[in-house]
Amino acid sequence: MKEYARTDRVGDFLQKELAQLIQFEIKDPRLGMVTVQEVRVSRDLGYADVFITVMAFGAQTEEAKAEANKDALKVLNNAAGFLRTKIGQSFRARTTPELRFFIDDTLENGMKVSSLIEQAIREDSARRDDSDQD
């Protein structure tokens, strides 16, 4: 059985801490509702890639979602130093990883694929119904 790697433990810790800090410490109206999906830490613990999803307020057009994602990344990358400092106060290690934020679009892509599959099934079913009537 593979041992639980240190980078995985650090990633889990950072994910929990960042979720709390983003929710309670960052007061930027452009941020919206952010979920920390995953944190991948480099082997040397120098960097942590933080993958987030953003729930945009208001209209959910593609443009609005893209703008909300862009704003959230800008806010979080600007606050990365502050977040790193806050984490460093409770993180018992020599260094705290540098934070880099990215949009995690796997959930959105999964929903699109699921929607396309459902649509294909409906169209296939409709074609069968049409051919059965002939």
Per-run averaged pLDDT (10 residues), the chain, 134 residues = 73 94 89 90 92 75 82 92 91 87 82 85 83 68
Is residue 83 located within the same domain as residue 27?
yes
What integer pLDDT is reported at residue 1 of this predicted model? 42
If you ran DSSP here, which 8-state letter would residue 103 be given?
E
Residue 31's Cβ-side half-sphere holds a number of Cα atoms within 13 Å equal to: 20
Positive or negative: CA dihedral 83, 85, 86, 92: positive
Q: Is residue 55 part of a domain?
A: yes
| pTM for the whole structure | 0.76
Based on the domain organization, do 96 and 40 belong to the same domain? yes
* pLDDT value for 36: 94
Residue 61: predicted pLDDT: 77
> CA nearest 72: which of 47, 35, 41?
35
Between CA 117 and CA 69 the distance in angstroms is 26
Domain for residue 1, yes or no?
A: no
* Residue 3 near residue 21, CB atoms below 8 Å: no
CATH number of the domain that 35 lies in? 3.30.300.20
**What pLDDT score does 78 carry?**
93
Domain count for the chain: 2
What's the pLDDT at 52? 94
User: Where in the sequence is the domain holding 32, given as residue range(s)?
Assistant: 6-103
Cβ atoms of 22 and 82 closer than 8 Å: no
Q: Clarify whether residues 70 and 23 are in a common domain.
A: yes
